[in-house]
Each structure stands twice: as structure tokens, then as C-alpha cells.
Amino acid sequence: MRRLNRPAPRVEVERRADGVLVLSAGRDLPPSYPLIIDRLQAAAERRPQVTFLAERRGPQRQWQRITYAEAWAKTGAIASWLIAQGFGPDGPPIAILSDNSLENALLLFGAQRAGVVVAPLSPNYSVTGARSGDFSRFDHAMDLVEPALVFAQDAAAYGPALDRAARRGARLITVDGQRGLAFAALANTSIDAAVAERRLHLTPDTPAKILFTSGSTGLPKGVLNTHGNLAAAIEMIRAVGEPLDESRVSVTLDWLPWHHTWGGNSNLNAVVRVAGSLYIDGGRPIRGRFDETIENLRELSPSSFGSVPAAYPLLLEALERDADLRRAFFKNMRGLGYGGALLPQESFDRLQATATAELGERLPFGAGWGMTETTSTGFMVYWNVDRAGLLGLPQPGLQAKLVPAGDRYELRVKGPNVMPAYHRNPEATAQAFDEEGFFRTGDAARWVDPERPEAGILFAGRVAEEFKLASGTWVRATTLRAQLLDALQPYVRELVIVGPDRPWLGALVWLDPATLAVADWRAALAVKLAAFNSHAGGSSMRIERLLPLAEPPSSAEGEVTDKRSLNTRRVLERRAADVVRLYAEPADPEAILPAP
């Protein structure tokens, strides 16, 4: 396997008498480090003509680019306009309604230079609300943030949401200028000394962003990220990465949304940190929209690729049938990554086999763990591994507390990347931290090998997603889902475990489109289910039935989050009739039972 110049895995373990373990990386971050806006300035000085951001636009879908020098100038102009209008650290926030774009990034960094808090909202809050008439999440976010300025890329697409914002007294900014002020008026403002003066008043404790959680268990909470959180998170990532090579410009193709912590805090800021180039991908990891991603990969030959697990079956299909794409994809590739959910081992192995056939060696294929509350990072797999499913080890600067919980541990963390509070929610903030100041993540973990701590930590489920069968037996649905999904490859693309207060477990499944072309796919799935159950043990691990569903999970209905993972609670609410079918007696004719 290709070896990169990265630190060897290392962890220090404090073992307490009550069984609690406290992990650390064994090395610290520097005592101080530049803010992200300082990194942007350094990138503009170091590589002024290098592409910072690019986005396909126009009828011909050509790349429109912004260099670092242009970004520094335009963000300074935006900061000047904001300061002149009275915005600053003690003033009201700005809300961004629309998806990733050049203007979105310029406003985001311009606001940070002015010390203004920015709240990027999921476009689904606005667009889905306009389709369904349900603006509950949009209104909830606006109630919490109370922005004085609201930005949208397209006045028409976001019209109903802009109407609601205007009725609250917010000023509007749109790129096309059809509603409120045209964005160009900000970007073309003359830069004055107030911007440099404002920088003197920005500290690591100055609030920078409000990002919203997915809201999978209720209304989303607003997570406050400080400038220090943003800076620390990127330094933690860099501390376990390759040393910077001045002769190489990192090229990234990324679709992950900036209103989500992975895309907006980790990926976008990481590109600034290394003065690399980020190409905004208009594709998505779903069939029919991944074609644009494939063509972008073919053209750009990026130096890294990371995405959610749903992207990898689509990528593998394309790589395995297209030799030209394989050559372009692996040409400059230094490493792969995934996050947001567990990657099936089958996808991991197929991609490494493809890399070996093309390059003669396997590639580093990493992962990590982070949350909105930890500014997207905390644990990372930064050494070469041969399996999926690891959380990794703590990055420098982080302490992880493992609290015994049966045969695994509850994970709690503390570090400079951890949020100071939920925005305007002191009760939730108080509940989120323990008596030592560790954030309660709600995740469970266990050792890969208790005798070798440096082998890392495994994800062992999400505590909030556990439930009981009617027998009182606890089910760890998150880890069971990952194991079952891996066992049902290559036939099943996605699934949800069903069973709270039921006598046995079942699963709603969505088939891979290629499955229907297999003549005996139902029998094949029945055999795979029987094989899974033969090693499963008790009722908490056995799946008695599968029910394939034709209608895919709906983003508009809240079944799919912005990072393309399933919102289990919402799926089960919306598919209540299918759950009834799953448990029908005699069995529904569409249900698949284990082969005898």
C-alpha cells in the first residue's frame, strides 16, 4: 500500500479506577495559530493567481473561477460594506439560504472578516417549504438566529422564503438583484481601513457561525462555532496529514454542503489552509445526478477524493467499466476518504482492487469522526488500514473520555474544536456537557484490539438510535444496519432496521437498480439473509424479513439528510403502512424471508 509521509498512529491512555479511559494523541497543537481569515490572507499572498474556487455556470457549463487574490479583495469589499452598515461581533447575524456557490463563499468569508456571525441554512428549509407549505424548520431557524440580513442565490427559487424573511424585517440580498440588494453592490465596495481595524478585535472566542444539527430526533439545534473552533479543527486535521509540498497544488472536487459541518468547516477551510483549489461539484451521490461528478473527475484528476458511502457504488460502477476514467481518476490521487456513515467493506475492497489494478498498489483510504458540535473533526484514521468502520484515534488537541457501557464505551470529548454552546439554548447546553466539561456525543465505541490501543477505535452505535424489542431485548440499530447492509451487497443500496416494541426485527430495503436485472434476485437475497442470520446470535441481531420498497427515500419529505444519510425516524413515520406490511401475517408476498 502507498505510504504517505504522515505520523504513525499514537495514543496515550489514562486508566481510571472506575473503568473510565481518557485518550489523547500524545502530542499537542501549537499554543496559538492563525484564524481561518488569516489563512485566506496568507494564501492570497503565497499563491495569488491560483484558483481558490470554481463553479460550472452558463449554458455551456464552463468553469468560472476565483483566484486567491480576487477572493481576498472581494471579501475585503464585503467586509467594508458590512462594517459601514453597522454589522459586527455584537450585532445580528446573516442567514444564507442557498447552496454552495462562489458568492456564498465570498459572503461567508467577508462576514468573518467583519466579525459577523453567519448562519448557513439548509436549502431544504426554504425549497421544500415552498413545495409543501411546511416552513416549520425555516421558521424555527429564523426564530433562533434572528438575522438582519438574508442572502439567496436565486430570487425566484427562494422567493417564498425571502418573503417570510422580509416580513420579519430582514434586509435581502440576491445575486441576480431581483429581490433586495444585488450582491455585486457588496463585492464592489471600496475597501477601507475599517477592515484591518476590525481584525484587531477578533479573537479565537469571537463567534463565527451558527450551524444547525440534522434534527433527526426533533427540531434542529443551532451550534455556535467560534473563530477558534474553526482554526483549531483545521490545525488538528493538518497535524496528522502530509507536510505541505510547495510544488503541488491540492485539487479537490466536492459537493458536500457548506451549511453542514463536514463541507463547510472541514473541506472548505482545509482548502484555504493549504492554499489549494476547490471545484464545486454540481453532481450528487444519487443515480442520475452522479454523471456530472464522473465527468468532473475525468476532467480534473483531483489529488484526493472523499464523500459519503452512497457515492462509492456509483463511482465503482463507472471506474470498472471505463478505462479512461480510471486513468484520469487515479492519475494524481493521493488518498481516499469517507464519512457521514459506515462504508460497506465490499465497497472498500472493490475500490482498493481497482486502485491496485491501475496503480500496482493500494491507496490510503481513511475516515474520521466528528460532529457539528466538534467542528467536524476529533478522531481520524490517518494511517493505512485494510478495513472500513474505524473512527480512528484522537487528533492532537483532543481528549476523549470513554465511559464503560456494557461491552462498549460511551464517547465524550473535550478540546479547542468543541463548541462553547448551543445558540440561545442554555438547557440543552447544560445537558450536553458532563461535570468535567466533556461533551456527551451520544456515540458508542470499542477498541479494535484492547491489547493494542494504537490500532484505533471502532464505531459501536448511536445510543439515541437503540431500541427494545417486545421481549425487552436491546437492539443496537446503527451497527446492525451497517452489518446487514454489508451482508446484502451487491443487491441492496440502502436500508432501515425496523422493530421497536415488535417481537422480531425486520428491514425496509431499497435495491440497487442493477439488482432488478438479475433473474433470481429474490432468491439470492433470501440466501444472503439466511447466511447473515446463521452468524447473528440472538433476536437482537437476527433479521426475519426484508421488504423491498420501490419509492426511493425522499429529501423533500425529510427522509434523507443533506449529507445523503437516512433519517430513520422520519422514514418510519412516513412509511408506517410499509411497516404494517412487513409484520403482516401471513407474510406479504413482496417480503423476503431467509432461505431455508
3-state secondary structure of 444: strand
Strands 181-182 and 207-212: unpaired
Strands 12-15 and 21-24: antiparallel
3-state secondary structure of 76: helix
Between vectors from CA 170 to CA 280 and to CA 126, what angle results, nearest 5°? 45
How far apart are alpha carbons 455 and 449 in whole angstroms? 6
236 part of a folded domain:
no
**φ, ψ dihedrals at 170, nearest 5°:** -75, 145
Contact, 391 vs 22, CB < 8 A?
Answer: no
Do 536 and 387 share a structural domain?
no
Which amino acid is located at 194 in the chain?
A
Q: Which of 545, 561, 556, 559 is nearest to 595 (CA)?
A: 545
Strand-pairing partners, residue 196, are none
Do 428 and 375 share a structural domain?
yes
Residue ending a domain, among 422, 445, 463, is 463
Give the side-chain half-sphere CA count within 13 A for 145.
Answer: 35
pLDDT at 536: 81
Residue with cell 457539528: 372
How far apart are alpha carbons 589 and 73 in whole angstroms? 64
Do 432 and 378 share a structural domain?
yes
Residue ending a domain, among 463, 482, 499, is 463
How far apart are alpha carbons 431 and 120 in whole angstroms? 25
How many Cβ atoms are within 10 Å of 134's Cβ, its own excluded?
15
- 78-136 pLDDT per residue, tens: 999 999 999 999 999 999 999 999 999 999 999 999 999 999 999 989 987 778 788 99
Residue ending a domain, among 420, 438, 463, is 463
Query: What letter does residue 402 receive in the DSSP assignment?
Result: E
112 part of a folded domain:
yes
Contact, 162 vs 130, CB < 8 A?
Answer: no
How far apart are alpha carbons 466 and 286 in whole angstroms? 28
595 part of a folded domain:
no
pLDDT beneath 50, residues of the chain: none
CATH number at residue 130: 3.40.50.980
Q: 490: Cβ–Cβ under 8 A, 6 or more apart, which residues? A: 313, 346, 512, 514, 515
Do 473 and 442 share a structural domain?
no
How far apart are alpha carbons 483 and 238 in whole angstroms? 32
CATH number at residue 573: 3.30.300.30
How far apart are alpha carbons 490 and 20 in whole angstroms? 40
Do 442 and 406 share a structural domain?
yes
Could you please report the per-residue DSSP string of 553-575?
P-TTTTSB-TTS-B-HHHHHHHT
Do 111 and 23 share a structural domain?
no
Residues in the chain: 596
Q: Which of 151, 143, 146 is nearest to 123 (CA)?
A: 151
295 part of a folded domain:
yes
Number of domains in the chain: 3
Do 163 and 88 share a structural domain?
yes
pLDDT at 509: 96
CATH number at residue 433: 3.40.50.12780
pLDDT at 105: 98
Strand-pairing partners, residue 63, are 56
Contact, 190 vs 83, CB < 8 A?
Answer: no
3-state secondary structure of 442: strand
Cis peptide before 394 (omega within 30 of 0): no
3-state secondary structure of 484: helix
Do 348 and 320 share a structural domain?
yes
pLDDT at 328: 97
pLDDT at 478: 81
Do 365 and 352 share a structural domain?
yes
Do 120 and 16 share a structural domain?
no
211 part of a folded domain:
no
Dihedral sign (CA 384, 386, 388, 389): negative
73 part of a folded domain:
yes
Q: Which of 46, 102, 110 is nearest to 274 (CA)?
A: 46
Q: Which of 381, 384, 370 is nearest to 418 (CA)?
A: 370
Domain extent, residue 334, equals 12-31+247-463
596 part of a folded domain:
no
231 part of a folded domain:
no
Do 506 and 446 share a structural domain?
no
Contact, 567 vs 143, CB < 8 A?
Answer: no
Grid coordinates belonging to 367: 475516515
pLDDT at 1: 63
Stated as kind and residue range, the H or E segment containing 438 is: none
Query: What letter does residue 32 receive in the DSSP assignment?
Result: -
Contact, 440 vs 433, CB < 8 A?
Answer: yes
Do 415 and 549 share a structural domain?
no
